[in-house]
Amino acid sequence: MLELFRVGIGFDLHRLTGGRPLILGGVKIPFQRGLLGHSDADVLLHALMDAMLGAAGLHDIGFYFPPGEKRYKDISSLNLLAKVQEIISAENYIVSNADMVIITEAPPLAPFIEAMEKNIAVTLKLPENAVSVKATTTEGLGLCGRGEAIAAQAAVLLRTRTES
């Protein structure tokens, strides 16, 4: 059987606000502000899910998990990621690898990157070396640079599931 490969990209940005936990890659990060959103507002996982869905030629995450729907209020995006994994699996795709970047001036994320990668790898049933998370700044420019928001980008390679 010929293997088919598909590439997807995803992007998400959420405003920082007081009174919410900061969750990135399913990891609670100690910080005085969190991301505003209906779910846990995990921009990293939202970008990843959109990349997966896009690579499979499907709708974005808002189609599958409409904002404002009560059952998704404060839900862990790791749970949503598992559901997206099921959606793409039903289309006969599996994730080959995922490469992501978080864009923020603060907080420093280096101590949490490994836990983020592990959460994603476990949820997607991938080896940890198939998941890469990086963090960068915008040198003080734009919404992220001014500390008003955190953004994330993701690139994913899907392949067709082959029978063993």
State the pLDDT at residue 99: 98
For the stretch 117-158, pLDDT in tens is 999 999 999 999 999 999 999 999 999 999 999 999 999 999
Looking up tokens 């293997």 gives: 3
Contacts of 68 (CB under 8 A, 6+ apart): 38
Stretch 156-161: mean pLDDT, rounded?
93
For residue 1, CA distances in Å to 71, 148, 162 come to 40, 49, 7
State the pLDDT at residue 7: 98
Q: Is 43 exposed, middle or buried (0-12, 13-18, 19+ CB in 10 A)?
A: buried
Instruction: Tell me: pLDDT of 163 over 90.
Output: no
What integer best gives the mean pLDDT of the chain?
95
88-118 exposure pattern, b = at least 16 Cβ within 10 A, e = fewer: beeeebebbbbbbbbbbbebebeebbebbbb
For the stretch 83-118, pLDDT in tens is 999 999 999 999 999 999 999 999 999 999 999 999
For the stretch 52-61, pLDDT in tens is 999 999 999 9
CA dist 61 and 140 (Å) reads: 29
Please state the CATH superfamily assignment of the domain spanning residues 5-160 in this structure. 2-C-methyl-D-erythritol 2,4-cyclodiphosphate synthase (3.30.1330.50)
State the pLDDT at residue 1: 59
Domain residue extents for the chain? 5-160
State the pLDDT at residue 161: 77
For the stretch 36-45, pLDDT in tens is 999 999 999 9
**pTM for the full predicted model:** 0.96
Instruction: Tell me: pLDDT of 77 over 80.
Output: yes
